[in-house]
């Protein structure tokens, strides 16, 4: 089947109405473009579970702070289109900012406390922008399932909460982080790293893997697990945070890891801000694990 490229909400709705016939399931992968293997993993998951996949590419201005460079966000539209075509995407939605934010737009989705912690402390208003655009895109696409990467763990927790709090009829699927063979988590910003910066960035995943190894060896005390990670971050003076948090509240753990938790970090390497995390799950098979952070 050929891929439809649509730019307006009315076109999108018309195309989707036809695709949805006979109860066909729609999967949705919202992106800001500059697609990489992490996005490809989301699209493949959608293809495996849904009859049609919609991908959106929209560099959302409301999730960039005043000091963050929206105009320099990497854009690779031709390459992105070719990838979507190869992966059998049914609809590629490429709206202009005015389509998403009409004149005098003033209604936002406020994620509250969840948006103020971790990355939110360094990027005020970021998650309000994410929450607003994702809610709007869900209303436009009305997908059965929507797919997000675990690398953006805070984003997935916030989106799940929005879906629950606002009764949005969509299931959220979180797909494990895709990594380079040496451990670096894939992200659209990685293209900005010079060779020396890229080599330095490896300490982030090494730190998380060290904590994960200690956890697998039986360590459950948060301070000890954080110490394991810190040993690999010693020379990194631009670490923004390293925290071990509850995956529902995103609050730091005060006592032993007895339910699924996440060790999360963010750092600036050169001019590039990188985030990463690992899940620490005492019982990966428990219903508790899948109910709040379903991974594929």
d(CA 207, CA 29): 30
Binding-site string for ligand PAF from residue 10 to residue 49, where x marks contact by CB under 6 A and - marks none: --------------------xxx-----------------
Binding-site string for ligand PAF from residue 48 to residue 67, where x marks contact by CB under 6 A and - marks none: ------------x--x----
Binding-site string for ligand PAF from residue 155 to residue 174, where x marks contact by CB under 6 A and - marks none: x-------------------
The answer to whether 3 contacts ligand PAF (rule: CB under 6 A) is no
The answer to whether 81 contacts ligand PAF (rule: CB under 6 A) is no
Q: Give the dihedral of Cα atoms 236, 150, 52, 88; nearest 10 deg.
A: 40
Residues binding ligand PAF: number (CB under 6 A): 10
Catalogue the E-assigned strands of the chain.
4-6, 26-31, 52-57, 91-93, 145-149, 171-175, 239-246, 261-269, 272-280
Q: Residue with structure tokens 């990670």?
A: 229
The answer to whether 177 contacts ligand PAF (rule: CB under 6 A) is no
* String of DSSP letters for 90-148: SEEE---HHHHS-TT-------GGGGTSTHHHHSTTHHHHHHHHHHHHHHHH--SEEEE
Annotation marks residue 39 as catalytic = yes
Residue 56 CB, shortest distance to ligand PAF, in Å, is 7
The answer to whether 211 contacts ligand PAF (rule: CB under 6 A) is no
Chain residues binding ligand PAF by CB under 6 A are: 30-32, 60, 63, 130, 133-134, 152, 155
């Amino acid at each position: 089947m050929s891929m439809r490229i649509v730019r307006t909400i009315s076109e999108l709705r018309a195309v989707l109405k036809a695709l949805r016939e006979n109860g066909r399931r729609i999967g949705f992968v919202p992106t800001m473009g500059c697609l990489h293997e992490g996005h490809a993993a989301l699209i493949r998951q959608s293809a495996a579970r849904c009859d049609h996949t919609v991908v959106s590419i929209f560099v959302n201005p409301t999730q960039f702070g005043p000091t963050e460079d929206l105009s320099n966000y990497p854009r690779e539209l031709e390459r992105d289109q070719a990838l979507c075509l190869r992966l059998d995407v049914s609809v590629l939605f490429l709206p202009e900012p005015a389509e998403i934010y009409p004149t005098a737009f003033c209604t936002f989705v406020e994620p509250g406390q969840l948006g103020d912690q971790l990355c939110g402390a360094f990027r005020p208003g970021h998650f309000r922008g994410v929450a607003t655009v994702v809610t709007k895109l869900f209303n436009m696409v009305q997908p059965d399932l929507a797919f997000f990467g675990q690398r953006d763990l805070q984003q997935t927790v916030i989106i799940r909460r929005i879906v629950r709090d606002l009764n949005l009829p969509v299931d959220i699927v979180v797909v494990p982080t895709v990594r380079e063979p040496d451990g670096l988590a894939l992200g659209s910003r990685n293209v900005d790293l010079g060779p020396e910066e890229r080599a330095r960035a490896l300490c982030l995943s090494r730190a998380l893997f060290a904590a994960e190894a200690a956890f697998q060896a039986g360590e459950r005390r948060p301070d000890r697990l954080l110490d394991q990670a810190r040993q690999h971050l010693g020379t990194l003076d631009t670490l923004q945070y390293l925290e071990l948090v509850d995956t529902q509240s995103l609050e730091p753990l005060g006592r032993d890891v007895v339910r699924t938790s996440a060790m999360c970090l963010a750092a600036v390497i050169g001019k590039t801000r990188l985030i990463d995390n690992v899940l620490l799950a005492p019982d990966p098979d428990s219903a508790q694990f899948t109910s709040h952070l379903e991974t594929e």
